[in-house]
């Protein structure tokens, strides 16, 4: 089993939103085989609690604008690990210390990585 087209569509919107708020080290993992409730985990790092909250907020806003309502969200008050569940896509926005500690990539290492197409940024001033 592989991630659905719907999950891949959600992933691209979420990844672009996270990237626009300086989300770092974006990794998408296809968890459709071992998990019946989700297709893809998107893991993102923020440099501070404020950045984690901003990234999660932008991801949620952009997916809502695209017509996708979150089923559940957790961790916003602390700003250390925010989880937003969109059904086929679950977004994990970590503070860098929590990401290293929990190591979701290690936990799901047997699952395939999904390529992410991020918009190219214009670095000219």
Which of the four pLDDT bands, split at 50, 70 and 90, describes residue 124? Answer: low
pLDDT tens per residue, range 45-93: 999 999 999 999 999 999 999 999 999 999 988 889 999 999 999 999 9
Q: What's the domain range around 25?
A: 5-114
In a domain, 119, yes or no: no
In a domain, 123, yes or no: no
pTM beyond 0.95: the answer is no
In a domain, 66, yes or no: yes
Residue 53: give its domain's CATH number.
3.30.460.10
CA 107 to chain centre: 16
Whole-number Å distance between alpha carbons of 35 and 60: 22
In a domain, 23, yes or no: yes
Of the candidates 54, 74, 55, 64, the residue with the CA atom closest to the CA atom of residue 10: 64
Whole-number Å distance between alpha carbons of 60 and 121: 21
DSSP assignment, residue 3? -
Angle between helices 5-20 and 49-65 (to 10 degrees): 140
**The pLDDT value given to residue 123:** 54
In a domain, 30, yes or no: yes
pLDDT tens per residue, range 26-52: 999 999 999 888 999 999 999 999 999
CB 81 within 8 A of CB 94: yes
In total, how many domains does the chain have? 1
């Amino acid at each position: 089993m592989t991630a659905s087209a719907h999950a891949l569509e959600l992933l691209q919107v979420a990844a672009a939103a996270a990237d626009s708020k300086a989300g770092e080290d974006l990794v998408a993992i296809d968890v459709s085989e071992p998990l019946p409730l989700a297709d893809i985990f998107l893991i993102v790092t923020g440099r501070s609690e404020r950045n984690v909250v901003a990234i999660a907020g932008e991801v949620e806003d952009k997916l809502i604008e695209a017509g996708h309502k979150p089923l559940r969200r957790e961790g916003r008050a602390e700003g250390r690990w925010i989880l937003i569940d969109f059904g086929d896509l679950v977004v994990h926005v970590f503070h860098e210390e929590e990401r290293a500690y929990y190591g979701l990539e290690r936990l799901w290492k047997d699952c395939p990585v999904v390529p992410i197409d991020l918009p190219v940024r214009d670095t000219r001033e």
